[in-house]
Chains A and B, each alone.
Chain A
């Protein structure tokens, strides 16, 4: 490292001053702008809802909102990595249900079990599911959409088989277990706390570790990644394993939160998670996706879930409105990007 310095000085002398044009990159700005645009949309929506119903921006309701969005936002992190590698994971709802069911059954059989042990058990089950999927995708080369579609049915079927089609309901669960969702750490609700930790870890992993960046390289250009010696298979396996572990963790959180484990828990939830990612600017084509974007995307969906009932919107209309707003937000994003591009063109002299 020490020898770098004289080299740098040498170079600085060798280069004519005109050679180094340090202009800030336009594309960098666009990327920032995109997130800001979405954030602006969130703020606007919040103000609008607040205007219609002043109980929206109360501490209590915000806490409620965050608590409900926590699970979604954790899952969206894992999904982001999967989508960044040009994959998709449709099995997470089923993985979540399976790990939730097994954990709930274990806890109801051993009421003395420590909540931490329950969380670890669920995460381990999810990790096993995800690792299996990763093996299919990375080693056997099965297309992610097909592998995860197949395993989705396998996991869902297992959940029904294990439970014998029965529910595990609140009275079968010890208070210590349901306390996972209602308790708090450092004055913050446990669910929110876990989400915050997950975001901090992911932010570091994605931006400051070699493995994290290499995942993006694999998604941006898989062929090039192989040529430059990046362990593509191992990284692909890793993202599905992480996704599985997070689904398992969320399975426990989900069951604790709703105090019930059912065969059809979180059915179709994977699509909500994918929607949160896409809203947050994760590109289905791979290679692009930011932790901050996924956070905003999850918050937006969480907010819609929370705000529409507050506005006395009929539950029949709620999903349709949600879908419409998601499309609107994506459209707004596209529109902003396009107008930035156009401005860029206008500035070009010919």
Chain B
């Protein structure tokens, strides 16, 4: 790292400035929206600075300004005390700025090495021939340094999200980045992977990098950050030392109002068993899965990513592989081969990726909600529009979808409201069991509690709910019972009274992973 630092200083011909990055009065307007309104931000050398705010607060736009993807309408940007006007992403990269986005930046079809070096490839002088050997070796060296367990010649698409993130970090390192922006890096990671990421982030800081860390999770902020800056609705709200502000005040700063009870526990009447699986198995994914869900009960299904929880749900719903075991609905054995079978039996599934699997973004709210129920809303093949609209309106109101009306495009809604539309879709059919796969993923704090409320309400109405989630507080706060999986098997079924962060973690991790977690 020493050499890199010296090189860096030499290139710029100055010593350490007070701030490596300073943005003053940044304003950016898109047609119809003021995405950023007179925003400030200061990053000290060697600092990890958390940037928080709800979805739509302007964080993404802000990052794209720092990385030169967008140009601000107004305001100054200073790098190492020098005013710069970014000409584009490449210019930002030359100044040592790198961003690790959550999804968008990887090339799934290319190798890890290519992903790392894309945009700053090593070429032979004169012939401009790519130096593959050198790049592979350098990539492998960076991966080893980051403790990666995969090879630089592997295809990016074959890696897990956590592994891809390590590649993105290696990419930032290989570009000699001194200012690294991490955009919700922990959103798709499990506890153990988060620990690994924390360790790597600390190491980057120790290597002299300054880091902007964007996250919805308070835990990330407390574990890593020195300071936190909050944006709300495109405006700068404030900057605090992370220990100088209470959790409550921080939420108020982000949401603009007080969020009282995060987990409204509704007392639901728990009734008869509606869903039971016996000895469920799918080669390579999971085996020996036994559990049941009763009417009005919320059963949490948790475990690390890759533990097979989503696969179990998909198998129950008929979209994933299953080669052993039986599924019972209301005590009767069910033959489920495809989603239509499951839905006919009264099982509904809320997919994890709502944008890809749950919604048609360029359709109206009404059309999305009634899509699964068209058969019942149609007469002789003609859709009865009035009936369709009244069903859509009723459900949208019941779930509190915030929009100007049921004819807004779903793509224009916030993440939380989109999720409500997906739930509304499920409720058009007569269901008994709802499988909710990561219902609050990528949803901001304010909208989360609204979704929790809906889940509680649904249980109170007598739905049996299977809640898949990797967010520990969510599972503990909502579930009546918690099923924990590890490497394709159930390792514990915990009652609400005995479930704590520790008991769940113990069941979710085996000895070796726990060790890694502890040492990281």
CB <8 Å contact, B154 and A216 = no
B114 close to A217 (CB less than 8 A): yes
CB distance from B315 to the nearest CB of A (A): 14
Q: Is B380 an interface residue when CB atoms closer than 8 A count as contact?
A: no
Residues on the A chain within 8 Å of B88, using CB: 229
A25: chain B residues at CB < 8 Å are: 150-151, 153-155, 158
Q: A28-B155, A229-B90 are in contact. Are A224 and B107 (CB under 8 A)?
A: yes
Stretch from A16-24, A40-48, A259-267, A328-336 at the B interface: A16-24
Which residues of A (98-134) have their CB < 8 Å from a CB of B? none
B145 — which chain A residues lie within 8 A by C-beta? 11, 14-15
CB of B452 closer than 8 Å to a CB of A: no
Contacts of A26 in B (CB 8 A): 158
Cα A219 to Cα B68 in complex, Å, equals 22
Q: What is the CB-to-nearest-CB distance from A31 to chain B, in angstroms, rounded to a whole number?
A: 8
**Which residue on chain A has the smallest CB distance to residue B91?**
A229
Asked if A27 meets B109 with Cβ closer than 8 Å, knowing A217-B118, A229-B90, the reply is: no
Pairwise interchain contact A209-B129, C-beta atoms closer than 8 A? yes
Q: Tell me the B78-109 residues at the A interface (CB within 8 Å).
A: 88-91, 93, 99, 101, 104-109
How near does chain A come to B177, taking the closest CB pair, in angstroms?
A: 12
- Give the interface segment out of B283-291, B369-377, B463-471: B283-291
Binds B, one of A55-63, A248-256, A342-350: A342-350
Give min CB distance, A289 to chain B, whole Å.
9
Complex CA–CA separation, A27 to B154 (angstroms)? 7
Residues of A contacting B285 with CB < 8 Å? 345, 350
Name the B residues within 8 Å of A3 (CB-CB).
3, 7
User: Whole-angstrom distance between the alpha carbons of A22 and B143 in the complex?
Assistant: 11
Contact of A227 among B104, B109, B308 (CB under 8 A): B104
In the bound complex, CA of A8 to CA of B119 (Å): 22
The answer, yes or no, to whether B252 is at the interface (CB within 8 Å) is no
| B130 at interface by CB-CB < 8 Å | yes
Q: Give the complex CA separation of A113 and B3 in angstroms.
A: 62
What 1/0 flags go to A218-255 for Cβ under 8 Å of B? 01110111111110000000000000000000000000
- How many residues of chain A get a CB closer than 8 Å to chain B's CBs? 48
Residue A171 lies at the interface, judged by CB distance under 8 Å to chain B: no
B249 within 8 A of A: no
A126 shortest CB reach to chain B, Å: 26
Query: Is there an interface contact between A213 and B488, defined as CB atoms closer than 8 Å?
Result: no
Nearest B residue to A21 by beta-carbon distance? B149
Instruction: Pick the contact of A213: B64, B106, B114, B138 (CB < 8 A).
Output: B114
- Nearest CB of B to A209, in Å: 7
- Given A8-B141, A22-B151, A228-B89 contact (CB < 8 Å): yes
Chain B residues 422-453 with CB under 8 Å of chain A are none
In-complex Cβ contact of A27 among B132, B149, B155, B286 (8 A)? B155
Q: Kindly state the separation between the CA atoms of A213 and B110 in the bound complex, as whole angstroms.
A: 9
Chain B residue nearest to A223 in the complex (CB): B104
Number of interface residues of B (CB under 8 A): 56
Q: Is B67 an interface residue (CB 8 A)?
A: yes
Closest chain-B Cβ to A287's Cβ sits at a distance in Å of: 3
Residues B144 and A11 in contact, CB atoms below 8 Å apart: yes
Are B151 and A11 in touch, CB under 8 angstroms?
no
For chain A, residues 114 to 159, give those with C-beta under 8 angstroms from any C-beta of chain B. none
For A14, the chain B residues whose CB sits under 8 A away are 145
User: Does A288 count as interface, using CB distance less than 8 angstroms?
Assistant: yes
Contact assessment for A208 and B130 in the assembled complex, using a CB-CB cutoff below 8 Å: yes
CA A219 to CA B118, docked complex, whole Å: 13
- Asked whether B256 is an interface residue with its Cβ less than 8 Å from the other chain, the reply is no
Residue B69 contacts which of A28, A219, A227, A288 (CB distance < 8 angstroms)? Answer: A227
Q: Is the CB–CB distance between B130 and A350 below 8 Å?
A: no
Q: In the assembled complex, which residues on chain B have CB atoms less than 8 Å from the CB atom of A345?
A: 283-285
Is B487 located at the chain interface by the 8 A CB criterion? yes
Q: Nearest Cβ in chain B — how far from A350, in angstroms?
A: 3
Whether B147 sits at the interface, judged by CB under 8 Å, is yes
Q: A184-210, CB under 8 A of B: which get 1 and which 0?
A: 000000000000000000000001111
A-B contact pairs, 29 of them (CB 8 A): A3-B7, A4-B138, A7-B3, A11-B141, A11-B145, A12-B141, A14-B145, A19-B149, A20-B143, A21-B151, A22-B140, A22-B151, A24-B151, A25-B154, A28-B155, A208-B132, A210-B130, A213-B110, A214-B118, A216-B109, A217-B110, A220-B108, A224-B101, A224-B107, A227-B104, A227-B105, A345-B285, A346-B283, A350-B487
Q: 19 new A-B pairs (CB below 8 Å) besides A216-B114, A221-B107?
A: A6-B3, A7-B1, A7-B3, A7-B141, A11-B141, A11-B144, A12-B141, A19-B149, A20-B143, A21-B150, A24-B153, A25-B154, A208-B129, A209-B128, A224-B101, A224-B106, A227-B67, A228-B93, A350-B284
Q: Which residues of B contact A (CB under 8 A)?
A: 1, 3, 7, 64, 67-69, 88-91, 93, 99, 101, 104-110, 114, 118-119, 121, 123, 128-130, 132, 137-138, 140-141, 143-145, 147-151, 153-155, 157-158, 283-287, 308, 487-489
3 tightest Cβ-Cβ pairs between the two chains A and B: A345-B284, A350-B488, A287-B109
B-contacting residues of A (Cβ < 8 Å)?
3-4, 6-8, 11-12, 14-15, 19-28, 31, 207-210, 213-214, 216-217, 219-221, 223-230, 283, 286-288, 344-346, 348, 350
